Structure 1
């Protein structure tokens, strides 16, 4: 299937490792030009160098998405270098599950407002695109109550609501908006790798909940994101695609 992404201009936040890196690599493999960011400049530089091996244009910047001015400046810089924006993927998370004020504030600033501000900054460019698309990364914790109930689960649920609202509001402009809710995703250096090493009982319990007997991979999450952003999904908007290997039990209405 031709996803129709060759030459597309794509921005992905939090895109130097894990799911975000896999998303950037998959877009690049489809011939899209990409803009990436993370808080670590060295990781940004190594990621853009690797992405360019696909024969595409890749740019990046060191950005903390909770910094409104820095995020807006990065979007403008990437749009100038790429010659516009067709797709934005809001991927960053603070991964805060504590019940203290700081955890709530981090999740709001990073997950919620990082998503809202990315979309707002990119909107003038998306409106000029012939195939504008927004993909936000939520979580199964936004669908069901689990050990991450609290700030993480709350704002991941809010992101689904926000995205479906965007889909309705932007349909007349030809801009699609969808969310992807990954299940537990394992990769070296990721949160589940750390849990496996530091809290093996929690890891064992989480693994046992999935009927497949395993966790997902960043590539499996990236495949869903890139499909939803592509022309192959041209009539899909306002959906929340759960990619969890049947982990969640609730019926999504």
Structure 2
């Protein structure tokens, strides 16, 4: 299937590893130009080389999403180098920070303010696109009790609220906003890989609770993201796509 995104410019923060890298690889295979960033220069350089070897035009830069000036400059530079912005995917997360004030602040800066900063800077470019799309990353932990009263789920829940309201605001300007909320996803070297190696009981019990009998893959998440970014999903706006193998027990209606 031709997703009709060849030549489109996609910006992905946090694309140097894990699901972010799978998203970048998938969009590269569809012919997108890619702008990526991360805090590590080595990680950015290695990711640029890898994605370029797949045939993609890639611009990479060191940028911290909690640094508004540096993050905004990366977005401006990507637009300048790659010829605008069609797809914005702010993926950086602070992950499982401690449930103390510092952890809450760190999570808020990365998981809520980070995407907000990206939107503020990118919208003027997205408005010039004929198929503009913003895709946020939340989690099933945002809408079901999971792991206790910790920052991660709370911030991702806030992001869902922001995304839904933003979709209504930006749709008249030709910009679609959607969210994907993955359940447990196994990526080599990722969080669930670490849990599998060091907390086997938790890993096994989680897999046992997934009706499909396995965790998802990064490629499966990336495929959904690519479809959402595509003009073929042109009437999908304001949606939260849950990708969890029926792991969550709430009914989706």
TM range, normalised to the smaller chain?
over 0.9
Report if the CA contact (8 A) 2:99-2:149 is conserved: no
Show the counterpart of 1:106.
Answer: 106
| Counterparts of 2:134 and 2:163, CA distance in 1 | 8
| Cα distance in 1 between the residues matched to 2:56 and 2:5 | 12
Which aligned segments of 4 or more residues in structure 1 are displaced greater than 4 angstroms? none
In structure 2, the partner of 1:212 is: 212
Following superposition, the deviation at residue 241 of structure 1 comes to 0.3
Give the Cα separation in 2 of the matches to 1:122 and 1:109.
Answer: 18
Structure-1 residue corresponding to 2:168 = 168
Q: Distance in 2 between matches of 1:77 and 1:97?
A: 30
Alpha-carbon separation, structure 2, partners of 1:62 and 1:186: 26
CA distance in 2, matches of 1:201, 1:216: 18
1:104-148 per-residue CA deviation (whole Å, 9 max, x = no partner) reads: 111100011111101111111001111110000000111211115
| Matched residue, 1:249 | 249
Q: Distance in 2 between matches of 1:102 and 1:210?
A: 33
Residue in 1 aligned with 2:221? 221
Residue equivalent to 1:85 = 85
Q: TM-score, normalised by structure 1?
A: 0.97
Cα RMSD (Å): 1.2
1:195 equivalent to 2:195? Answer: yes
- Rounded Cα–Cα distance in structure 2 between residues aligned with 1:208 and 1:229: 32
Query: Are the structure 2 counterparts of residues 233 and 149 from structure 1 closer, same or farther at C-alpha, using a change threshold of 3 Å?
Result: farther
TM-score normalized by the length of structure 2: 0.97
Corresponding residue number in structure 2 for 1:117? 117
Residue ranges of structure 2 left out of the alignment (5+ in a row): none
Q: CA deviation at 1:97?
A: 4.6
Quote the offset at 1:235 in angstroms: 0.5
- Say how many residue pairs are matched: 253
Aligned counterparts of 1:197 and 1:149: Cα–Cα separation in 2: 25
Tell me the secondary structure at the aligned position of residue 59 of structure 2: strand
Indicate the residue corresponding to 2:128 in structure 1: 128
Q: Residue by residue, what CA displacement relative to the aligned partner does 1:217-245 show, whole Å, maximum 9, x if unpaired?
A: 11111111111011110000000000111
Alpha-carbon distance in 2 for matches of 1:124, 1:33: 19
Range with bigger deviation, 219-228 or 41-50: 41-50
CA–CA distance in structure 2, aligned partners of residues 15 and 165 of structure 1: 26
